[in-house]
Amino acid sequence: MSEYEGKQEYVRTIELPEIEVIKNKYPDKQYTAKIEYPEFSTICPKTGLPDYATIEIVYNPTEFLAELKSLKLYFVAFRDKGFFHEHFTNRIFDDFIEAVKPTWAKIEVRVNPRGGITTTIRREYPSDLER
């Protein structure tokens, strides 16, 4: 049995604060919004040590914009939870897409080096499979 067994079963269902939205007053305009959060932290589920990362989300808004205070509170909720890098990236992006409903978005997460290894995770919506 792997020492990771059962440590990530909850990643898709764990309760997190809601990402709130505000009404976009320019839904008829095509533009890009970029959100960068350089203070993200979570716990490594294997070692219990903190992982730190910068999260960058770029998106084309439609009817809604991400409300930034709620987004920060959402990010902060990860601080005491154990997530692998790829798992928290996908969870954040899924929740963001569901709340904001952009026409296009991408996320890039750059995890600070630990043990000499840096991790960067990227994802785009819609993906080639969704187009």
Instruction: Please give the domain boundaries of the chain with CATH numbers for all domains.
Output: 21-125 (3.30.1130.10)
Q: pLDDT per residue over 49-82, tens digit each?
A: 999 999 999 999 999 999 999 999 999 999 999 9
Q: pLDDT per residue over 81-120, tens digit each?
A: 999 999 999 999 999 999 999 999 999 999 999 889 999 9
Contact 40, 55 (CB under 8 A): yes
Q: Is 51 a catalytic residue?
A: yes
Instruction: Give the per-residue pLDDT at 31.
Output: 97
Pick the catalytic residue from 51, 80, 94, 128.
51
pLDDT over 80 at 130, yes or no: no
Cross-strand pairs, 41: 52
CA 46 vs CA 10, 49, 101: distances in Å: 15, 8, 34
Give which of 37, 36, 44, 53 is closest to 80, Cα–Cα. Answer: 44
Exposure class string for 15-40: b at 16+ Cβ within 10 A, else e: eeeebbbeebeeeeeeeeeebebeeb
Return mean pLDDT, the chain: 92
Q: How far is CA 79 from the centre of its chain?
A: 13
Q: Is 28 a catalytic residue?
A: no
Instruction: Give the per-residue pLDDT at 10.
Output: 83
Pick the catalytic residue from 44, 80, 94, 95.
44
Report pTM: 0.91
